[in-house]
Amino acid sequence: MTRRALDWRDLILGLFLVAVATGALWMTRRLPIGSAADMGPGYMPRVVSLALLGFGAFFLLRGARHAGAAIEPVHLRPLLAVLLAVGIFALTAERLGLAIASVLTVLLAGLATRETRPLESIGFAILLSGLAALLFVKVLALPVPLWPR
Amino acid sequence: MELFDNLLMGLSTAVQLKNLGFCLVGVLIGTAIGVLPGIGPIPTIALLLPFTFGMEPAGAMIMLAGIFYGAQYGGSTTAILVNVPGETSSVVTCLDGHQMARQGKAGTALAIAAISSFFAGTVATVVIALLSVPLAALALKFTAVEYFSLLVLGLIAAVVLAHGSVARSLAMVFLGLLLGLIGIDVSSGAARMTFGVPELSDGIDFVPVAMGMFGLAEIIANLERPAERRVVSQKVRDLIPSRADLRAAFPAMVRGTMLGSALGVLPGGGAALPPFSSYALEKKLAKDPSRFGHGAIEGVAGPEAANNAGAQTSFIPLLTLGIPANALMALMIGALMMQGIQPGPQIMREQPQLVWGVIASMWVGNLMLLVINLPLIGLWVSMLKVPYRLLFPAIVLFCCIGTYGIANSLFNVWLMLGCAAVGYLFIKVGVEPAPLLLGLVLGPQLEENFRRAMLLSEGDFSVFLTRPISALLLGAVALALLAMLSPAILRRRQEALAE
């Protein structure tokens, strides 16, 4: 018995779209729809969500019937490092100030590849942090604290 | 002549000393990021948006426009010298441009690329000036019905011209429309899908979405591929092409310019389409097509002219109709609105200094690029030696600060993080994020005009077909969709879009 070939790219995309559309339909369930001549706030969300639901179902069906190109393997290291770097910026920028947040962000992002050299990365992080502070806080007067409050 | 009056008025704005300065800064930044693979004009312009807040509208738009077409110049430099496209628009330039460089004609290739771009830029400036006035006059007659049909045409064109599967791109348009609906509904005041987050009540910001999906997701995907970058280490000389070279390149230049100008006006026309089409055309017209891929000078001149012409004429829908032709123009709309200027057909009458100033500055900027770019080649080449391991953490940091700076909101940084993750998923399953961005930007306008049209017609959907201009526009939509379904065109489209 042979296993049926699947198109995982279609299946995952279909699943994603169905999930988003269902979520949107659920969230807008209480908004009045109105009529075509006098649309309520729920009219367009429902039209668009239903269309998305249709697309999701289409991709799910298509993915289950045909084989497709394989998904390239996911490398966790760059994915996690870049997302964590952004996360640490969001967590620290207003509490610890731009100077420290910048250094942390650059260092964490650097972990995304094996090519990063620790000493060079630290020096570069401090340099970038100084540059960012000068440019955004001094020149552009971005209202973000520079140092911990 | 009204045309020349307008251009002269624009020129007088563009050559003011401070505007010349902004133009120079714009094209220099644009060339720099164009040269560097891995950072495109979208994150750069998004990053610079907060800078423009304190500037005069004309100066701000001149600088941002300069970044856009400057990037097209820079991208081809990398393509020729390193065989890596600095921008998506210069993918085809790699084919013959890099071959020329390997044959020792790097200088000629660079010069032909620059001259073609300048020629195309000059013609495109005139095209913009010629088309803008009648189009804006026509647009003033538009009601909500025509606007709705035009927006639909724009979104469908984005799908037809995007890479990859039509169904996927259509789904992305709808996903973008859904995101665009987030926020407080203007007419009823009801909160829609805001998750109770106050930052979402004004709708989702475009910049974090663009930076997450284009900037950060691209970086993550880039890091997964093994790094390989070799600069052609010969000295770049013979920057002045011979007369024979020019004669060979000129017809291709003219054809590329015409093709690029036409394709650039189409809403949704991506940066990749004009150069690809021009390359295909040149190959078809050539007496000896086998030269292509081995350093044919037409293979550099045509696509380079096409991409620069397309980049410039894509401003036409923005300036005349207030509709962005692509994701980048959507950012431009954002910049205008930050200045308190509502884009639309009335902008030509109310802000003539601004509109014509920007148009004239494009020609000035192209001249600057031609003059400064060739002598600065050495500088751009040395920039290419900055290793990616240093470049990408810097981009990540600047994306964070830039996103934060647009509204001083950490929420936007979190939003960018989410969009980066989703963008990565999109890359893995093979969908393009560009149609989504267009849907997000045009969504609110689409709903607004749809509602108004329905209100006027008392809920009668046939109004879109009984009004002539609207019917014409929707006819074009139907034609485009039908064409996509016909197998013969489907095959040819795949050939044309295949690298």
Residues A58 and A81 in one domain: no
This prediction has a pTM of 0.82
- Name the DSSP letter for residue A39: B
- Name the DSSP letter for residue B89: G
Residues A50 and A18 in one domain: yes
Residues A42 and A90 in one domain: no
Q: pLDDT at position A2, please? A: 47
**Contact assignment for B450 to A44 by CB distance below 8 Å:** yes
Residues A13 and A61 in one domain: yes
Category of B193 on φ-ψ map: left (φ > 0), alpha (ψ -120 to 50) or beta: left
Count of positions (residues) in chain B: 499
- Intervals of chain B under pLDDT 50: 499
The answer to whether residue A112 sits within a structural domain is yes
Domain span holding position A15: 8-65
Residues A61 and A86 in one domain: no
Q: pLDDT at position B279, please? A: 86
The answer to whether residue A146 sits within a structural domain is no
Q: Which of these three, A40, A65, A90, is where a domain ends?
A: A65
Task: Show Cβ contacts of residue A91 under 8 Å, excluding neighbours closer than 6 positions.
Answer: none
Q: Which of these three, A41, A65, A89, is where a domain ends?
A: A65
Choose the closest CB to B396 out of A85, A93, A140: A85
Give the mutation candidate from B220, B412, B413 for the A interface (greatest A CB count, under 10 A): B220
The answer to whether residue A84 sits within a structural domain is yes
Residues A80 and A61 in one domain: no
Give the mutation candidate from A39, A108, A117 for the B interface (greatest B CB count, under 10 A): A39
Q: Which of these three, A16, A43, A65, is where a domain ends?
A: A65
The answer to whether residue A94 sits within a structural domain is yes
Alpha carbon distance B459, A38 (integer Å)? 7
Q: Are B32 and B383 in contact (CB under 8 A)?
A: yes
| A75-96 pLDDT, tens digit each | 899 999 999 999 999 999 888 9
Structure tokens at A89: 């910026």
The answer to whether residue A71 sits within a structural domain is no
The answer to whether residue A16 sits within a structural domain is yes
Residue B263's CB is within 10 A of a number of other CB atoms, namely 23
Alpha carbon distance B154, B333 (integer Å)? 16
Burial B351-386 (b: 16+ CB within 10 A, else e): beebbbbbbbbbbbbbebbbeebbebbeebbebbee
| B262-278 pLDDT, tens digit each | 888 776 555 667 888 88
Residues A59 and A23 in one domain: yes
Three-state secondary-structure class, residue B462: coil
| B184-216 pLDDT, tens digit each | 887 787 888 888 788 888 888 888 888 888 788
CB contacts < 8 A, A to B, total: 184
**Domain total of chain A:** 2
Residues A55 and A90 in one domain: no
For every residue of B104-121, DSSP letters joined together read T-HHHHHHHHHHHHHHHH
Residues A56 and A81 in one domain: no
Residues A61 and A88 in one domain: no
Find the closest chain A residue to B49 by CA distance. A140
Q: Tokens 């389409």 — which residue?
A: B273
Phi, psi of A34, rounded to the nearest 5 degrees:
75, -165
Residues A95 and A119 in one domain: yes
**Chain A residues with CB-CB distance to B396 below 8 A:** 82, 85-86, 105-106, 109
| B23-61 pLDDT, tens digit each | 999 999 998 888 887 677 877 887 777 778 778 888 999
The answer to whether residue A3 sits within a structural domain is no
Residues A81 and A134 in one domain: yes
**Chain A residues with CB-CB distance to B224 below 8 A:** 72, 75, 78
Chain mean position to CA B159: 15
Which residues 82-141 of A have a C-beta within 8 angstroms of B? 82-83, 85-87, 89-90, 93-94, 98, 102, 105-107, 109-110, 112-113, 115-117, 120-121, 124-125, 128, 132, 136, 140
The answer to whether residue A149 sits within a structural domain is no
